[in-house]
Structure 1
Amino acid sequence: MNVRYLRIQVRYAGKTGKPVGIFGACWHLLRNNRLSEEESTNFLAVNEWFKEQLPEPPFYQDGNPNRAITWFKVGSSQEMVTELQPLMDLLDKYHVQYDIVFSNYPGTIIYEDEYQVGVF
């Protein structure tokens, strides 16, 4: 059976009560002034690329009342997962433990597009 979804998440929970995703973890590093100027610039460039390429689930615009999280679809998002490598490198450099989690059943799907699902 082929795995359908993947998520890169750290080993601490956020306001959703679930593990923080890779973008949230990198934002934490940035906000805590742990990144160099070059690393900050690179992170913001990757973040901007994703904002241009990946649709934003509407629950983020509503303040995420369901405390949903997103998972990439395996296959259709391969280029996007490759683009995340610089962020994984940042987590490695700053010793932020993370996992690449695969699942066929990530939760109740409340949003879906070509590249991702939103679940709670």
Structure 2
Amino acid sequence: MECRYMRIQGREDSWITKYPKGIFGMCWRLIMDGMMEPEDEKTFRAIDKWFRENLPEPEQCKKQEKVITFFKTGTTGEMLKMIEPAVRMLDKYARPYDIVYTNAVGTIIYEDDWQIAVRVEGGKMI
């Protein structure tokens, strides 16, 4: 069975969505809590910049609406290479995470060539 969507998420819920935080939220939390080493922070900021420059940011995410995003598995090859150092940082700083592959994402409210966004309510996709 081939799954169309993939998400790297932690086991701690986002205060906005009440759904597990995505990898970017997890890494930003490490920075905000002063836990990430300066060299790792520099690397993560470069990764974040690359994604902002190469991937459209859904308007719903910019507005901090209750949405989560998934990568499309058919177009994620380059993105996964770029995000791999951030995944290693989660390992380094002992932050548990899951890589979720699924076709069951609820109602898609945003879509581009690389990702989708779905609305969440009460910690569940709707």
Q: TM exceeds 0.5? A: yes
Aligned to 1:50: 51
* Paired letter, 1:41: K
Counterpart mapping for 1:32-51 below 5 A: 32-51=33-52
Structure 1: give runs of 5+ residues left out of the alignment.
Answer: none
Aligned to 1:80: 79
Runs of 4+ deviating beyond 4 Å: none
Distance 1:43 1:86 in 2: 8
**Offset of 1:78 from its aligned partner?**
1.6
3-state SS in 2 of match to 1:75: helix
3-state SS in 2 of match to 1:95: coil
| TM-score of the pair, normalised by structure 2 | 0.90
**Offset of 1:63 from its aligned partner?**
3.0
Aligned to 2:104: 105
Distance 2:63 2:30 in 1: 25
Distance 1:62 1:36 in 2: 29
Distance 1:37 1:62 in 2: 29
What is the number of residues matched between the two proteins?
Answer: 118
Aligned CA RMSD, in angstroms, stands at: 0.9
Aligned to 1:4: 4
3-state SS in 2 of match to 1:84: helix
**Offset of 1:25 from its aligned partner?**
0.0
Identity of aligned pairs, percent? 44
Structure 2: give runs of 5+ residues left out of the alignment.
Answer: 120-126
Aligned to 1:31: 32
Distance 1:62 1:94 in 2: 29
3-state SS in 2 of match to 1:117: strand
